[in-house]
């Protein structure tokens, strides 16, 4: 199948590097970053584009926009991995809608449009007979939606608990283990590249809440929004609070929880026992899924990172290729 990639940041680069390094059977016919675009129906030389991007900061021609690529390139799947906008989802939301209206499948890591308009996008995709997949929006490499939709098919998903923000988890781990202050630990998390462009999204629990909304809407289709989440961040936690928790063989983690029957949606710092499955270290993410048949399943893995997030995108691409057939 042919793909067009919109966005050449960390995730876009990870996808292209993976496609250049592995024979996955997908060709790239369109590509765009915020400043340029490139269309080639016969297949783009990925290594050349990556090199050009590194040298010039542009992947293609300044006269070609991302929307030109979405509208005009010949592709089967749009890979939308441009920077997220949690306020109105744009311009990514328009790219996705335009692609779906052209009867193209969409795979995305973009949290904004999926948190804001999942229902609308899904309905549009259904009408046009195409797939909308967003595994990479929640917990990076962790295949939570594949697990719920395929592995746990037939189960009633009753509740979900998760450590969904790597930045907060890193900060809490460093404060507990090394006695760092909140400010020192946040600085480190930013230097490691885990934090959002605006780290208040991480530390105030907004990023985790966005992911919780995506989880709830995908699993239960209940149309919840960010305003429905009862949210407390970690920005007011003191080293003293963490020390007290540690004395009782416990620690503090930012836990996101969603419960089907009560409708509870909450993100808050919680004191939990150190041997609890959700107590993961550093920038890791963890998600526990409670079901009627399988009971509890916990997935742990990298919640961010270029190649790690690309793994989720590639999984979605190959899912679509498998289900909708490869075109020569
Ligand atoms: N800032 C996010 C985190 C990146 O720390 O988890 C992945 O969504």
Residue-wise pLDDT tens digits, 193-252:
889 889 999 999 999 999 999 999 999 998 999 999 999 999 999 989 999 999 989 999
> Which CATH number is 207's domain given?
3.30.360.10
Q: Is 308 in the pocket of ligand 1 (CB under 6 A)?
A: no
CB 291 within 8 A of CB 156: yes
Looking at residue 197, its pLDDT comes to 84
Looking at residue 326, its pLDDT comes to 55
Same domain, 21 and 49: yes
Which residues in the chain come in under a pLDDT of 70? 326-328
Ligand 1 centroid distance, CA of 162 (Å):
13
Looking at residue 16, its pLDDT comes to 98
Is 119 designated active site? no
Same domain, 113 and 182: no
Same domain, 150 and 190: yes
Q: Is 86 in the pocket of ligand 1 (CB under 6 A)?
A: no
CB-neighbour burial class of residue 310 (10 A; exposed 0-12, middle 13-18, buried 19+): buried
Same domain, 197 and 56: no
Same domain, 154 and 52: no
CB 5 within 8 A of CB 16: yes
The whole domain housing 113 covers 2-141+307-324
Residue listed under structure tokens 């996101």: 256
Mutational test site, ligand 1, from 198, 303, 305, max ligand atoms within 8 Å of CB: 303
Q: Which of 69, 31, 70 is nearest to 47 (CA)?
A: 31
Nearest CA to ligand 1 atom 8: 304
Same domain, 154 and 298: yes
Looking at residue 193, its pLDDT comes to 86
What Cα–Cα distance (Å) separates residue 313 from each residue in 78, 143, 191, 246, 321? 11, 10, 25, 38, 12
How many C-beta neighbours within 10 Å does residue 127 have?
A: 11
**Number of compact structural domains in the chain:** 2
CA–CA dist 15, 20 (Å, integer): 9
In tens, the pLDDT along 286-301 reads: 999 999 999 999 999 9
Same domain, 114 and 160: no
Alpha helices in 73-152 (DSSP H): 92-101, 111-128, 144-146
CA–CA dist 14, 22 (Å, integer): 12
Q: Which atom of ligand 1 is nearest the CA belonging to 168?
A: 5
pTM (two decimals)? 0.96
């Amino acid at each position: 199948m042919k793909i067009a990639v919109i966005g050449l940041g960390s995730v876009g680069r990870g996808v292209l590097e993976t496609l250049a390094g592995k024979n996955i059977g997908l060709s790239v016919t369109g590509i765009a970053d915020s400043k340029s675009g490139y269309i080639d129906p016969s297949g783009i030389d990925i290594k050349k584009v990556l090199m050009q991007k590194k040298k010039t900061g542009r992947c293609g021609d300044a006269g070609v926009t991302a929307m030109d690529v979405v509208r005009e390139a010949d592709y089967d799947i749009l890979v939308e991995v441009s920077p997220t906008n949690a306020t109105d989802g744009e311009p990514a939301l328009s790219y996705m809608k335009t692609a779906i209206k052209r009867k193209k499948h969409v795979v995305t890591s973009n949290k904004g449009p999926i948190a804001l308009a999942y229902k609308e996008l899904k309905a549009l995709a259904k009408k046009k007979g195409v797939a909308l997949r967003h595994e990479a929006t929640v917990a990076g490499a962790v295949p939570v939606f594949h697990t719920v939709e395929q592995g746990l098919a037939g189960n009633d998903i009753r509740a979900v608990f998760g450590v969904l923000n790597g930045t907060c988890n890193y900060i809490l781990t460093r404060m507990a283990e090394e006695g760092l202050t909140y400010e020192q630990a946040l600085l480190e998390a930013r230097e490691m590249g885990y934090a959002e462009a605006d780290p208040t999204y991480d530390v105030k629990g907004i990023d985790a809440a966005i992911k919780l909304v995506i989880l709830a809407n995908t699993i239960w289709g209940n149309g919840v929004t960010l305003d429905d989440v009862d949210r407390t961040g970690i920005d007011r936690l003191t080293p003293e609070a963490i020390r007290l928790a540690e004395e009782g063989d416990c620690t503090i983690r930012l836990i996101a929880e969603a419960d089907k029957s009560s409708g509870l949606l909450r993100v808050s710092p919680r004191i939990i026992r150190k041997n609890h499955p959700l107590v993961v270290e550093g920038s890791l993410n963890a998600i526990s899924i409670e079901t009627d048949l399988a009971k509890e399943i916990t997935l742990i893995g990298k919640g961010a990172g270029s190649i790690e997030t690309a793994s989720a995108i590639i999984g979605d691409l190959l899912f679509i290729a498998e289900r909708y057939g490869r075109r020569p």
